[in-house]
Structure 1
Amino acid sequence: MIKYQNNDKSVLNDALGMLNLKKNVLLKGPTGSGKTKLAETLSHELNLKMNSINCSVDLDAESLLGYKTIENINGESQIIFVDGPVIEAMRKGNILYIDEINMAKPETLPILNGVLDYRRTVTNPFTGEVIKAHDNFKVIAAINVGYVGTLPMNEALKNRFVVIDMEYISGEILKTVIKEQTLISDDQLINQIIKFNRDLITMASQGQISEEASSIRALLDFCDLTTIMPVERAAKRAIIDKLDDEREQNAIINAMELNF
């Protein structure tokens, strides 16, 4: 388990303090900056289960709150309501993690306004029940700024959060992540990979390659693949072949040749 994120332990400590004050925490940063990893670490540190929502343009009230279904109970068909991630987290006092919150349609999210403010309640439109959140209930959301398909966050929604602006994982923390979460053990190769990743981040920040190519997920896949195939082919399978733009592919190939 990662004990802290980025290059500053205060990020984890601040996030824990905010959540304990019952503040909703918005993690803001590029793809690959470790937002989901930080949310998982907070869940571990607080010993709370995490209910996740992956936002998209198809997100609707049922995806958030739950749905009605027919179930056979004691030989009789009965209509029951199955709690969705929001209501389950509220009832059980879990962490609600809303990933890529700015991918959702603006008209979908106002249903959460009461959940995210001092009321900590929601009226289930499918049953009429008013759900009051458990005292342990906490909310974390993540946002990718400027990513394709995202929309500006509604100001009323944004004002319900405190914000942690995250950078890419790098240096010794990235080294720890690689050692803990991949099969690679060669320190020299790990150091080369970290330098290669730094070049990818620079290119992504300059707009030469997409942020997806510099994501932590792709990098960890790359690390695992280096244990079963040559580095060049591992980079091709984990990073390069995911890209459609030939210029981006060539930029990564050049960076790979400089580092390995």
Structure 2
Amino acid sequence: MGELMDFLRAEGVSEALLQAAENWKNHQSPVREAALHRIPKPRYPYYGKEIWEEAISALLSGEHLLLAGPKATGKNDLAENLSALFGRPQWDVSFYINTDAASLIGTDTLCGGEVSLRHGPIARCALEGGFGVLDEINMAKNESLAVLHAALDFRRCIDVPGYDRIPLSEASRFIATMNYGYAGTRDLNEALASRFLVINMPSITEENLLKLLGREFPELKPAYADQMTSLFTDIRRKCDSAEISTKALDLRGLLAAVRLMRQGLPAVRALELGIVNKCFDEFERQLVEDVVKSRVPEDLSGREAFAL
């Protein structure tokens, strides 16, 4: 937590907001010991001062968030960082076409000879004062999400047929994420969308990508950090101009490729595994491979890129 606060101060996030978040955390009910392991320890920080300030302000105001935007904008990283900042346990709910109310709220189970409700992730989040991350919320059927309406608006409760009403803890918040244009996605129903504050997530800037590479790989030589940043920017431009799909626009793949380089794998081969081979169309794959080779020497060994 202290490291994250230091990072946010270094990024210039409002000190008043950071202090308010700290005060909020200290005044909430303590997290049960059984749920402490759910407080995340983010692998990557989220870079973006304005987005941080908007998100912190919304959560302090008791609102729920919808992080909307294209691939590689850090939606899940930001959600995880927010849970860590506020010190709350996190429940991740991955949506898909067959998600139903039972998988969200809970199902009947036999316990001690009696039928009881085995709580699902939404109910546990409500009871434990957690942060629920609703991943790819626009992949689920709208009717299955109707069970969330009362939880997400001023009522802040879940009414389970046959059981008592479950009130949301004062600390509970929900952070939904939504990608545009993925197969199986649909428009979000207006009733559900109105219950969120929406942050349009911007693409990571070259400056922030350089910071991320420097933090994750401090031994990566600056010249090659610049080349990796420029490579990612070139791929994004080709995506924006519709020359290629977004399959190769994979920030996780880029970071994984740099890790392979650190292990000694030649740079071009590492980037093939992390980026190029994500394209299954041969023509598109060739285009991405040409972009890689225009930025990275074919004879560059992985360890040459690092000051080890």
**Long gaps (5+) in structure 2:** 12-44, 297-308
TM-score computed with the length of structure 2 as normaliser: 0.77
* Structure 1 residue aligned with 2:149: 113
2:237 to 198, 202, 205: 202
Q: Aligned pair in 2 of structure 1 residues 150, 182: CA closer, same or farther (>3 Å)?
A: farther
Q: CA deviation at 1:184?
A: 6.0
- Report how many aligned residue pairs link the two structures: 255
2:130 to 69, 84, 94: 94
Contact 1:92 1:134 in 2 (8 A): yes
**Long gaps (5+) in structure 1:** none
Q: Distance in 2 between matches of 1:10 and 1:87?
A: 32
* Structure 2 residue aligned with 1:33: 73
Q: CA deviation at 1:183?
A: 8.0
CA RMSD of aligned residues (A): 2.0
Q: CA deviation at 1:40?
A: 1.0
Q: CA deviation at 1:172?
A: 2.6
- 1:65 and 2:105 correspond: yes
- Answer 1 or 2: higher relative contact order, Cα 8 Å, separation at least 6: 1
Amino acid at match of 1:44: A
SS at match of 2:170: coil
Q: Distance in 1 between matches of 2:219 and 2:245?
A: 26
Q: Distance in 2 between matches of 1:53 and 1:183?
A: 34
Q: Distance in 2 between matches of 1:99 and 1:208?
A: 28
Q: Distance in 1 between matches of 2:203 and 2:219?
A: 21
Q: Could you tell me the percent identity over the aligned residues?
A: 29
Q: Distance in 2 between matches of 1:88 and 1:119?
A: 17
Amino acid at match of 1:93: G
Q: Distance in 2 between matches of 1:14 and 1:214?
A: 26
- 1:222 and 2:257 correspond: yes
- 1:130 and 2:165 correspond: yes
Amino acid at match of 1:24: H
SS at match of 2:143: coil
Amino acid at match of 1:36: N
Range 115-124 or range 164-173, more displaced? 164-173
Contact 1:32 1:211 in 2 (8 A): no
- 1:247 and 2:283 correspond: yes
Per-residue CA deviation, residues 70-93 of structure 1 (Å, 9 max, x unaligned), is 35xxxx555443221111111111
Choose between structure 1 and 2: higher strand proportion: 1
Per-residue CA deviation, residues 104-142 of structure 1 (Å, 9 max, x unaligned), is 1111111100011000111123x4221000001111111
TM-score computed with the length of structure 1 as normaliser: 0.91
* Structure 1 residue aligned with 2:38: none
Contact 2:46 2:81 in 1 (8 A): no
Q: Distance in 1 between matches of 2:165 and 2:155?
A: 11
1:22 to 36, 44, 62: 62
